[in-house]
Amino acid sequence: MLVSTKWLNEYVNINGINPADLAEKITRSGIEVDSIIDRSHGMTNVVVGYVKECVKHPEADKLNICQVDVGEETTQIICGAPNIAQGQKVIVARPGAVLPGGMKIKKAKLRGEESNGMICSLQELGIEGKLVAKAYAEGIYVLPQDTIPGENALPLLGLDDTVLEFDLTPNRSDALSMLGVAYEVGAILSQGIALPKIDFTESAEKAEDKLKLRVDAPADNPMYVAKVVKNIKVAESPLWLQNYLMAAGVRPHNNVVDITNYVLMEYGQPLHAFDYDRLGTGEIVVRHAEEGEKITTLDDTERTLNSHNLVITNGKEPVAIAGVMGGANSEVHNGTTTVVIESAYFAPASVRQTSKEVGLRSDASTRFEKGVDPNRVQEAAERAAQLMAELAGGEVLSGSVIVDELDKTAERITISPDYINSRLGMKISMDDMLSILERLKIPTEAINGQLVIEAPTRRQDLRIKEDIIEEVARMYGYDEIPKTLPVSESTPGGLTPYQAKRRIVRQFLEGAGLYQAITYSLTSKEQSQAYALETAPVTELLMPMSEERSILRQSLIPHLLDATTYNVARRIDSVALYETGSVFLGEEEDGLPREVEHVAAVLTGKWVDHAWQGETKKVDFFVMKGIVEGMMERLGLLDGLAFEQAAIDGMHPGRTANIFLNGERIGLVGQIHPTEQKKRDLKETYVMELNLERILSVDTDELLYAPVPRFPSISRDIALVVDSGTSAGTLEAIIRKAGGKLLKDVKLFDLYEGNNVEEGKKSLAFSMTYFDPERTLTDEEVVKAHEKVLNALTNDADAQLRG
């Protein structure tokens, strides 16, 4: 909502109040003022000029040489506007003027001819092109003949004005009108307000004799007021009216349309003007559209309607979409003489739905959608009739044609001062409350210590006690509310074990060298199930904004890979990222997908990069596996962890493992398939993804310390030659099983294939630690245990012992 302070001043005296101060007061008490617009843009030296003479420039087709009377002198100005003509009153920016946008006007020569200023269009004075009346949209603006050369043009054009731009919350539809704003500002400044005086002469002819009205859809249109004005002379509106409209962001058209828009802005009640003769039937019928019925609206667009769209018809065909836009067939035009003014109450939900469906939002529809004041419907029609009589020479037919089933009673709210104070934590006296409500012009009576309030219908947001608390508090001032803390049983607060463990996971992964990423949950169809640990029906948006963000992901890996590609493309060769976030699986019984929190990571490039000491290491499978193991170790879940070679789409078939926890598959780790890497412009890249929810919900034992060893342990190393296909995991399992209780630890410390090892074989070396917490082991015992291990390796894995 754009509020011209010049216009506002007609209803509430704000003379002498700095607009910035006023804006601050309004913001602090309830309506946010988004910006303060000085319409003068600090312009000076902009005056009325009279074009005494206008001849073509001999050297330039499009230029004219004008002799312009600017009051103190007649001076020559070159003008290139197509609509310049002798005899016009125009706007002249004299040398020294600075126009909005920084253009400085100086004496100049144009193709050899002197030019002492510039004849201006409204756009050049800072008015948006879309607000300039069509007649002047492509050229200079022509002022009325009664203006005086040399006169300051800014007040004439209403540019000596400051506009406050309101950022209205949806509840404050009352401030979608100048009168509503006046009530608010009046309350803030503790001032009375001057409402428009409606007073005009009616002709003897009765409106109801000229126009028939029927409403077939009273639920969606409980009130319809029509007034008829005849002998109208359609013309340009007076300047002051055009100025107010432009200040309010509305383009002037002609006096009839401008008056309806003016009253819309003044009262917040949308009006429509029909050309009576074009209606053709002398009848208005409001009904729901027939399915597929068509109407061409004022913007020359043909629109197809549904059966729930409310339309105004002439009894035969639609002439307007109710509350949204008029039809072209009944539009007021230059030759219109008789006008039907429509002022109605259309049900908010109906207008909202229709405006959404036909894709039209107008100043009218936004007001109807929020509910207009039932008590202003009739008054707005009268106000428009009055202005048509005053400004368009019209004769107003007596009375109105009305259908009215609208409930106009005020909401009654009873509330005690104690209640207000207890909710606010304040001690405002009843007198102060009464005075605030009086300032707001909210009729209130004090009865038996209670405030009995009749909420005015212009304030649709006042329904319950809490609404009154807000009125009192915002006018009393939120600065006056003391600062206290809730008095309640003290609660320990804190993270749940799950939340605490999630933080541990993050800390571990970051400690391990990974940065936390946050990627989008919405993805493309193609990526939605890629790398998913578990697939289920996808969750798809009804109306996605793009294919790329149309479906909820079932794996975190694709977007982490996207992020990796993004970084690598910017020459960050080494990328280490992780993410914790939800994946969305299928549709559960309650209609919602199952959301499962996962953790995933991606690694590419170097893992250790310390080249000058000869330490560099590319990432590989075992780096990522080590991260997984480390994380599980931190969570106390290393014991049940197992890795198994796996074939997974999009993954390297020889370098990928499924991860199991206590026999249940919880994740995957491995290298991205080289073809996939190439597609994504990546070099060797490793990923892992784990079902975090599963991991974090495993109960772990209490941490009990094991005594620090008091007796020495004994180590034995062995080197084995086995078939290349025998996995280290298998050998370790054999060793552990055979080693029995005394075997405390097994560690692979060498792996070799190549020279000196038979083709198809490999050599592995393990270090084994034997230990008994109760005593020092004897050599004999160790030898016995170790022999068992060696035998088992020979028997179960066909291992040969090396040297």
Kindly tell me which of 262 and 368 has the beta carbon lying closer to another protein.
368
Give 662's DSSP letter.
T
Query: What is the C-alpha to C-alpha distance for residues 100 and 104, in angstroms, rounded to an integer?
Result: 9
Strand, helix or coil for residue 344: strand
* β partners of residue 152: 47
Say what the alpha-carbon torsion angle 52, 56, 61, 63 is, to the nearest 10 degrees: -30
Kindly tell me which of 490 and 755 has the beta carbon lying closer to another protein.
490
**Cβ of residue 634: shortest distance to another protein, in angstroms?**
15
Query: What is the C-alpha to C-alpha distance for residues 212 and 284, in angstroms, rounded to an integer?
Result: 6
Kindly tell me which of 259 and 517 has the beta carbon lying closer to another protein.
517
**Cβ of residue 168: shortest distance to another protein, in angstroms?**
9
Q: State the pairing for strand pair 395-398/202-206.
A: parallel
Single-letter amino acid code for the residue at 208: E
**Cβ of residue 260: shortest distance to another protein, in angstroms?**
23
Per CB under 8 A, which region of 42-50, 82-90, 337-345, 467-475 contacts another protein? 467-475
Q: State both tokens at 707.
A: 């005594």
Contacts (CB under 8 A) with another protein, residues 392-411: none
Write a three-state SS string for 212-281. EEEECCCCCCCEEEEEEEECCCCCCCCHHHHHHHHHCCCCCCCHHHHHHHHHHHHHCCCEEEEEHHHHCC
Among 15, 448, 491, 755, binds another protein (CB under 8 A): 491
Q: State both tokens at 416.
A: 């005690």
Query: What is the C-alpha to C-alpha distance for residues 758 and 537, in angstroms, rounded to an integer?
Result: 51
- Cβ neighbour number for residue 656 with a 10 Å cutoff: 23
**Cβ of residue 661: shortest distance to another protein, in angstroms?**
23
Query: Count of alpha carbons within 13 Å of 114, Cβ hemisphere only?
Result: 7
**Cβ of residue 512: shortest distance to another protein, in angstroms?**
7
The three-point CA angle 437-417-459 to 5° equals 35
Q: Is there binding between residue 487 and another protein (CB under 8 A)?
A: yes
Contacts (CB under 8 A) with another protein, residues 495-554: 495-496, 499, 503, 506, 509-522, 539-545, 549, 552
Per CB under 8 A, which region of 303-311, 447-455, 475-483, 769-777 contacts another protein? 475-483
Distance, first Cα to last Cα, the chain: 91
Contacts (CB under 8 A) with another protein, residues 549-588: 549, 552, 563, 566-567, 570, 572, 575-578, 581-582, 584
Per CB under 8 A, which region of 90-98, 430-438, 482-490, 616-624 contacts another protein? 482-490
Q: State both tokens at 77.
A: 């100005």
Q: Is there binding between residue 128 and another protein (CB under 8 A)?
A: no
**Cβ of residue 174: shortest distance to another protein, in angstroms?**
12
**Cβ of residue 493: shortest distance to another protein, in angstroms?**
4
Kindly tell me which of 47 and 473 has the beta carbon lying closer to another protein.
473
Q: State the pairing for strand pair 395-398/142-143.
A: unpaired
**Cβ of residue 248: shortest distance to another protein, in angstroms?**
21
**Cβ of residue 373: shortest distance to another protein, in angstroms?**
16
Among 291, 609, 753, 798, binds another protein (CB under 8 A): 609
Distances (CA, A) of 651 to 488, 529, 646, 671, 684: 55, 14, 9, 6, 11
Give 105's DSSP letter.
P
Query: What is the C-alpha to C-alpha distance for residues 399 and 385, in angstroms, rounded to an integer?
Result: 11
**Cβ of residue 102: shortest distance to another protein, in angstroms?**
21
Kindly tell me which of 49 and 374 has the beta carbon lying closer to another protein.
374
Q: State both tokens at 722.
A: 């086995």
Kindly tell me which of 198 and 464 has the beta carbon lying closer to another protein.
464
Kindly tell me which of 30 and 456 has the beta carbon lying closer to another protein.
30
Kindly tell me which of 467 and 781 has the beta carbon lying closer to another protein.
467
Count of residues making up the chain: 803
Q: Is there binding between residue 610 and another protein (CB under 8 A)?
A: yes
Q: Is there binding between residue 219 and another protein (CB under 8 A)?
A: no
Nearest to 585 by CA among 575, 596, 576: 596
Kindly tell me which of 5 and 173 has the beta carbon lying closer to another protein.
173
Among 210, 308, 474, 625, binds another protein (CB under 8 A): 474
Among 6, 172, 253, 383, binds another protein (CB under 8 A): 172
Q: Is there binding between residue 615 and another protein (CB under 8 A)?
A: yes
Contacts (CB under 8 A) with another protein, residues 354-383: 369-370
Kindly tell me which of 335 and 614 has the beta carbon lying closer to another protein.
614
Contacts (CB under 8 A) with another protein, residues 252-291: none
Write a three-state SS string for 78-91. EECCCCCCCCCEEE
**Cβ of residue 25: shortest distance to another protein, in angstroms?**
11
Among 19, 30, 117, 394, binds another protein (CB under 8 A): 30
Kindly tell me which of 10 and 548 has the beta carbon lying closer to another protein.
548
Q: Is there binding between residue 479 and another protein (CB under 8 A)?
A: yes
Residue in this structure with the two tokens 């996605």, named with its chain if needed = 544
Distances (CA, A) of 68 to 72, 91, 155, 398: 11, 10, 20, 49
Q: Is there binding between residue 711 and another protein (CB under 8 A)?
A: no
Query: What is the C-alpha to C-alpha distance for residues 351 and 365, in angstroms, rounded to an integer?
Result: 6
- Cβ neighbour number for residue 395 with a 10 Å cutoff: 19
Residue 444 backbone dihedrals phi, psi, to 5 degrees = -135, 140
For residue 658, what is the enclosing H or E element? strand 651-661
Q: Is there binding between residue 492 and another protein (CB under 8 A)?
A: yes
Kindly tell me which of 77 and 530 has the beta carbon lying closer to another protein.
530
Q: State both tokens at 333.
A: 């035009």
Q: Is there binding between residue 352 and another protein (CB under 8 A)?
A: yes
Q: Is there binding between residue 165 and another protein (CB under 8 A)?
A: no
Kindly tell me which of 75 and 565 has the beta carbon lying closer to another protein.
565
Nearest to 346 by CA among 365, 326, 318, 362: 365
Among 18, 44, 86, 169, binds another protein (CB under 8 A): 169
Q: Is there binding between residue 766 and another protein (CB under 8 A)?
A: no
Strand, helix or coil for residue 31: coil
Q: State the pairing for strand pair 594-604/575-585.
A: antiparallel
**Cβ of residue 32: shortest distance to another protein, in angstroms?**
7
Query: What is the C-alpha to C-alpha distance for residues 84 and 56, in angstroms, rounded to an integer?
Result: 11
Consult the annotation and say whether 471 binds a ligand.
yes
Among 145, 334, 409, 613, binds another protein (CB under 8 A): 613
Among 107, 307, 431, 478, binds another protein (CB under 8 A): 478
Kindly tell me which of 436 and 563 has the beta carbon lying closer to another protein.
563
Distances (CA, A) of 701 to 637, 704, 705, 745: 10, 8, 12, 21
Consult the annotation and say whether 405 binds a ligand.
no
Query: What is the C-alpha to C-alpha distance for residues 462 and 472, in angstroms, rounded to an integer?
Result: 12
**Cβ of residue 690: shortest distance to another protein, in angstroms?**
17
Consult the annotation and say whether 467 binds a ligand.
yes
Consult the annotation and say whether 701 binds a ligand.
no
Taking CB under 8 A as the rule, which mask of x and - marks residues 406-435 in contact with another protein? ----------------xxxxx---------
Kindly tell me which of 83 and 524 has the beta carbon lying closer to another protein.
524
**Cβ of residue 685: shortest distance to another protein, in angstroms?**
14
Q: State both tokens at 160.
A: 């000596």
Q: State the pairing for strand pair 294-296/302-304.
A: antiparallel
Inter-residue contact 433 to 468 (CB < 8 Å) = no
The alpha-helical segments, DSSP class H, found in 707-761 are 728-739
Among 134, 197, 483, 710, binds another protein (CB under 8 A): 483
**Cβ of residue 570: shortest distance to another protein, in angstroms?**
7
Q: Which residues are annotated as a binding site for Mg(2+)?
A: 461, 467, 470-471
Q: Which residues are annotated as a binding site?
A: 461, 467, 470-471
